[in-house]
Amino acid sequence: MSARGKQAQQLARQLFQLSVVDGTLSTERVEGVLAYLEAHPPADRLGTLRAYERLVAAELARGQAVVEHAGTVSEFTLHNVAAALAAKYGRPIAAVARPAPALVAGLRVRVGDDVYEASIAGHLAGLAASV
């Protein structure tokens, strides 16, 4: 990575730290950072914006559980998944349903980089790998 790229990464991390209030990403702070960058563009504007966007996206993913499902999933199930994950991670988690017919049956839950799977497709893939 070039010196300019490293500077963009460092600036993006500093701007991201300014965007977090009490451990939570602040919409108002993000808007303020973007307005500041528009008014005062850094040397590597695109690199800084890309790095900042990756940090913001990763933080947003940490607070959202994407629940992939083959059939239907009830609001009660989504609420229970969100509550269990919030207790596990010690922070608020919002559950969002996403249809995934390839799962055949069951669920796959993704929170940030963590994946929890209890689906027929996952079990079949595990069996196929062991043969």
pLDDT above 80 for 128? no
**Tens of pLDDT along 78-118?**
999 899 999 998 888 889 998 888 877 778 898 888 888 87
Instruction: Tell me the whole-structure pTM to 2 decimals.
Output: 0.66
How do the domains of the chain map onto residue ranges? 3-61, 63-130
Half-sphere exposure (CA, 13 Å, Cβ side) for 108? 19
8 Å CB contact between 120 and 103: yes
